[in-house]
Structure formats: C-alpha cells, structure tokens
Amino acid sequence: MRVVQTIVAAAVLLGLTAQSPAQAQELHHVIQNWLRCYIIDGRVTFDGTRLANIGPFAQGMRGNGQEVLKVRNENGQSVLSYERATNDGQFAAELAASGERLVLRRTPRGGAAILPAEFKQVANEKITLTVGSGAGQQVFRARSIWRLLIAQPKECQQHLLPLLEMLRPDWNLADTAARVEQKLLQEANGDGASNRARWAALVTQLADESFAKREAADRALRTGNAGAISYLRQLDFNRLDTEQQFRVGRIVEAMTVQNGDDSVEQAAAALATDPVVWCALLARPEPSTRQTAARELARLLGEPIAVDPAADPNTQKDPRELLRIRIGEKD
C-alpha cells in the first residue's frame, strides 16, 4: 500500500493525468508545492520540504518520457531527481531532502550551440560551477553564489543563472548581484570602515571586567544592521575569550532568523571582507571602482598591492592574476 501511495503522490505532483507533452512544466512548477527555495548566506536553501512524506519509491513520468521525476532513499534520506528533455538539451536536477546536496545540470543535444554546465552545492564545501567539457572545461569555485556572480559575471550570466532560475524564475539574480556590487562600493566609500571599527570596539568591550559595560556592548551590537551581523559571523572565535564567544554566538543566533532570501545589504556586508571579490573588481572598466577595490584590498592584506588601479585594466592582467593566485592560496 505504501508503494502505491507514493507512486500516486508522484503522479499528482507531476500532473500526469492532466498534461500533454506540449504542456510539460519546468522544475519550479513541479516542486513548487513541495519545496521553497531561497538563497541564504549565499547558498541555495530549501524550506518546507515534504519529500520525506512521499517515500523512497515514488516515480512519475509524462510527455512520452520528456519529463521524469523520481524520489529514492539514499542512506536514510529522500533524494529527488528530475529530468526534462527539450529540443536543444537535457536538464537534470538532484537534491537531497536534507538540503545537504544540490546538483543542477544542462547537457546539449541535437547539435545545440549551448555548452554543458553543472552547478553543484554540497554541505561544508565550496559551491562549484563547471562549464564545457574536455580540454576546454572551466571550473569555478566560490564560498557563495554572490561571490561567484561578482567574480565571474559573464560565465554566471550565460551558464549559472539559467540553471538556478529553473528552481525559481522570480529570483532575478543578475539584477540583485548588480545592486549588491553597488552597495558594496557605497559602503566601502562611506561608513563601512568606521562601522567596522565600532563593531570591533564593541566586541572588545564584551570582554570588559564590568558587567554593565559588557551588557551595553551586547545591546549595541543587537541594534546593528546586517553589516554588524555579517561582521560577527566572520570573527575568528579562537581569538575570543569564553565570554565573547558566548555573547557573539547568542547575538548572531538571535539576529539571523530569516524568512526569505539574503537582502542586498546582507550580501554586500558578507562580501565586504572578501579579498577575492575586491580582486575581481580590479578588472572593472570604471576607474572609481578599481580605486576603491585597490584600497580595500590593501587594507585587507595589510600591504599595498602590485596592481595599478589607474591604468587600463587590460594592461594589468598579469599582476592581477598573480594577486588572484596569492589570495586564492589563502582562501
């Protein structure tokens, strides 16, 4: 009976009895009643999953095999796999109900001009975008989608966004990334430095001998914006004493309850101390952006950089690449 119920559930999910091949729906339609997708802390997050209620043997198919959904059991957890064929390619997705793994893949077919592409996100690992195959294959890794969008805008526009927007077409991630970059520059040229100094002083005050001063610092940090929370989350806890660790952890936990995607302010704050992002901005055509990036990189690295932000960025490719390698070795 359980197997019958799960197959029926998958059939309802796919709409097998009501759809024709011409009406085949994309992934976001297939799972919209089962999962809600967000980008939180720069990674795809699933909320409200009901995969576990389907069971491990559910399977559905429609459109003469053009669209296939399966749910299987893997090491005690439900895993959804979805495939959809079109005239120019094959789209495949696989996600674990726990959210620990997500793979989105596009494979060309019938001589289509598109390149193969794969997005992979595994818990506690960098996200990966792989484009092409064979000798021409490129692999891009990043700690967050926001970093990837800013560091590799062309590749993301062509290959990453079409994959992610299969999950949620309303994300409009290209526009969001542009606003994140703008906010990042505004903060760097405005109150960003003074805010970081203030937050650092408050964290120091959390270890003060006076209980009243510790409480005052705690309250002040709780009234901070998204930048304050991002600053606290990036602290090296090994450099904090027990009192600071306890209070910072409690503040972060209380202030990071989130019911939707990262805001522009949150994403920008998380990237403000990321040398990889500022290194990427050294290649932008706007001189003011390169000047800001050079200044922020020098601050983060603790020394001047060997890239001239006033020069034509095309003449700075070699020193910029050396700087990128140096930063990557520490990332």
Query: CA-to-CA distance for 54 and 81, rounded, in angstroms?
Result: 13
Task: Using the predicted structure, report yes or no on whether residue 62 has a pLDDT greater than 90.
Answer: no
- Check whether residue 157 and residue 223 sit in a common domain: no
- Check whether residue 145 and residue 92 sit in a common domain: yes
Total tally of structural domains belonging to the chain: 3
268 in a domain, yes or no? no
- Check whether residue 79 and residue 215 sit in a common domain: no
Query: CA-to-CA distance for 302 and 323, rounded, in angstroms?
Result: 14
57 in a domain, yes or no? yes
- Check whether residue 112 and residue 235 sit in a common domain: no
- Check whether residue 102 and residue 225 sit in a common domain: no
- Check whether residue 99 and residue 208 sit in a common domain: no
- Check whether residue 167 and residue 66 sit in a common domain: yes
303: β partners: none
104 in a domain, yes or no? yes
The DSSP 8-state label assigned to residue 116 in this structure reads: P
pLDDT recorded at residue 17: 34
- Which pTM was predicted? 0.79
Mean pLDDT of 38-52: 75
Domain end among 140, 171, 202:
171
% of residues, the chain, pLDDT over 70: 81
42 in a domain, yes or no? yes
Write out pLDDT tens, residues 287-296.
999 999 999 9
Query: CA-to-CA distance for 45 and 95, rounded, in angstroms?
Result: 11
Half-sphere exposure of 1 (CA within 13 A, CB side): 0
Q: Give me the chain's average pLDDT, please.
A: 82
Write out pLDDT tens, residues 143-153.
999 999 999 99
pLDDT recorded at residue 331: 79
- Check whether residue 108 and residue 37 sit in a common domain: yes
Residues ≥6 apart with Cβ < 8 Å to 287: 309, 310
pLDDT band, residue 28 (cuts 50/70/90): low
Phi, then psi, of 51 in degrees rounded to 5: -60, -40
Write out pLDDT tens, residues 246-286.
999 998 888 765 567 888 988 998 898 899 999 999 999 99
- Check whether residue 59 and residue 11 sit in a common domain: yes
Task: Using the predicted structure, report yes or no on whether residue 36 has a pLDDT greater than 50.
Answer: yes
pLDDT band, residue 315 (cuts 50/70/90): very high
- Check whether residue 208 and residue 282 sit in a common domain: no
Which candidate, 214, 185, 190, places its Cα nearest to that of 290?
185
307 in a domain, yes or no? yes
Task: Using the predicted structure, report yes or no on whether residue 113 has a pLDDT greater than 70.
Answer: yes
Domain end among 208, 226, 255:
255
Residue 292: which domain range?
274-330
- Check whether residue 159 and residue 85 sit in a common domain: yes
% of residues, the chain, pLDDT over 90: 47
